[in-house]
Structure 1
Amino acid sequence: MDALTRLVQQHVGEGRSLRIREFAERAVDPETGWTPSKSLVGNIVAGHQVKVSPPLVRAVAAGLGVPLRLVQVAAAAQYLGLTLEKAGDDRLAYGLGARPTERPESAQA
């Protein structure tokens, strides 16, 4: 699952609401001031694997104007295999291929 790539591709690139240059200018980590290069943004849009870090995730959220948690979940899904399943009003997180019934009791939300 390429959740982070798809999230960025929905908003950034040719024919989207943001061009790569515009996104790169907006994508500033509010904690550190770090910003990804246009080439790094281009690699994300192109679907290439990139080194994910907390500053990158925060910068992507700022650049897209979306909640940080959305980008964190997308990055975890793409790079760690985390999946989320809606169960009633709760969201249960389980990852790395385990189904909720396979999780140890201590891992249940």
Structure 2
Amino acid sequence: MDALTHLVQAHVGEGRPLRIRQFADRAVDPETGWTPSKSLVGNIVAGHQVKVTPAIIRAVAAGLGVPLCMVQTAAAEQYLGLVLKPEGAADD
């Protein structure tokens, strides 16, 4: 699954709440102040493989204006294959 890609693409791009430039301007890691380069933002939006770090995850959450845990979960699913199930959900 490309969960992180789908999450970003649901918020960023033509006909979405944020333009790429707006997302890039808002994507600032609140802990360190680090901001991804414009090319890295473009790669994230396009769904290209990126080296995921905690700073990128925090910056993406800030850029999208969504809870950090939502971006962490999407990144874990896309890059680690980890799928979290709600409590009480049956195993497949």
What is the CA deviation profile of residues 25-76 of structure 1, one whole-angstrom value per residue up to 9, with x for unaligned ones? 0010001100112211111111111010000000000111111011000000
Contact 1:3 1:77 in 2 (8 A): yes
Aligned-residue sequence identity (percent) comes to: 78
Q: Which runs of 4+ in 1 moved over 4 A?
A: none
List gaps (5 residues or longer) in structure 1. 92-99, 102-109
Matched letter for residue 36 of structure 1: P
Matched letter for residue 59 of structure 1: A
Give the aligned partner of residue 46 of structure 1.
46
Contact 1:20 1:38 in 2 (8 A): no
Q: CA deviation at 1:77?
A: 0.4
Q: How many residue pairs are counted as aligned between the two chains?
A: 92
What TM-score results when the alignment is normalised by the length of structure 2?
0.91
Give the aligned partner of residue 6 of structure 1.
6
Matched letter for residue 26 of structure 1: R
Indicate whether 1:58 and 2:58 are aligned. yes
What does residue range 50-89 of structure 1 map to in structure 2 within 5 Å?
Answer: 50-88=50-88
| Structure with larger Rg | 1
Matched letter for residue 85 of structure 2: E
SS of the residue corresponding to residue 18 of structure 1 reads coil
Give the aligned partner of residue 33 of structure 2.
33
Higher relative contact order (CA 8 A, sep 6+): 2
Instruction: Indicate the RMSD between aligned Cα atoms, in angstroms.
Output: 1.8
> Going by fraction, where is strand more abundant, 1 or 2?
1
What TM-score results when the alignment is normalised by the length of structure 1?
0.78
